[in-house]
């Protein structure tokens, strides 16, 4: 890694990639499926992480914050227009907003105001851009793990099989890229 900024953005990009691969090949209904006692869905996780990145990008640049505690939780809810293609495109847009925000700030120590939401501490006025990037890596990695479990519960697909399918790897003696199983 040439520098800290590149390293942090690289780790975040990798976690986004893992989360997106968990959705590879899912149908409209599978994006919304809750195969465990959790209410989380892969589509909802994609929508939530895009929403989260948008909020932090806005805070880093001093723009209007689209996230509030009043609308928290709605970003997990999928609408009829939330297709896989739409969710992935929106997530890519949110990622680009984060990367543009970080590119526009010279110092990773630049202060970012702590939101006035109940789950944030009241005794801290600001975190740094560095903290925000580390938080986004942690948040995205946590949700990528959730998505892995949901996906394995849906159809048994593992993260490596999905990566191989999404990136069109050839089959090997130790790995078969994921393919939808045909049921008769």
Angle at 116 between CA 20 and CA 46, to 5 degrees: 10
Tokens 């700030």 map to which residue?
A: 105
4-166 to CATH, choices 1.20.120.450, 1.20.1740.10, 3.30.450.20, 3.50.50.60: 1.20.120.450
- Three-state SS for the chain is CCCHHHHHHHHHHHHHHHHHHHCCCCCHHHHHCCCCCCCCCHHHHHHHHHHHHHHHHHHHHCCCCCCCHHHCCHHHCCCCCCCHHHHHHHHHHHHHHHHHHHHCCCCCCCEEECCCCCCCCCCCCEEEHHHHHHHHHHHHHHHHHHHHHHHHHHHCCCHHHHHHHHCCCCCECCECCCCCCCCC
Q: How much is the pLDDT for 184?
A: 67
Residue ranges of domains in the chain: 4-166
Residues paired with residue 113 on neighbouring β-strands, in sequence order: 126
Per-residue confidence band for 119, with pLDDT thresholds at 50, 70 and 90: confident
Q: How much is the pLDDT for 63?
A: 85
Per-residue confidence band for 70, with pLDDT thresholds at 50, 70 and 90: low
Q: How much is the pLDDT for 115?
A: 85
Q: How much is the pLDDT for 68?
A: 66
Q: How far apart are CA 148 and CA 35, in angstroms?
A: 12
Number of other residues whose CB lies within 10 A of the CB of residue 164: 20
Angle at 126 between CA 123 and CA 127, to 5 degrees: 110
């Amino acid at each position: 890694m040439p520098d800290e900024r590149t390293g942090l953005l690289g780790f975040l990009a990798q976690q986004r990639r893992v989360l997106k691969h968990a959705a590879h090949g899912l149908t409209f209904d599978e994006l919304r499926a809750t195969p465990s006692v959790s209410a989380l869905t892969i589509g909802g996780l994609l929508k939530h992480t895009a929403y989260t990145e948008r909020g932090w990008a806005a805070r880093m640049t001093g723009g209007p914050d689209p996230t509030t505690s009043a609308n928290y939780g709605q970003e997990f809810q999928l609408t009829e227009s939330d297709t896989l293609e739409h969710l992935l495109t929106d997530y890519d847009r949110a990622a680009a907003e984060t990367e543009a925000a970080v590119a526009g700030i010279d110092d990773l120590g630049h202060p970012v105001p702590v939101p006035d939401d109940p789950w944030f501490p009241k005794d801290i006025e600001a975190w740094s851009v560095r903290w925000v990037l580390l938080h986004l890596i942690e948040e995205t990695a946590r949700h990528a793990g959730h998505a892995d479990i949901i996906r394995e519960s849906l159809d048994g697909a593992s993260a490596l099989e999905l990566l191989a399918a999404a990136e069109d790897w050839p089959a090997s003696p130790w790995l078969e890229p994921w393919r939808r199983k045909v049921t008769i």
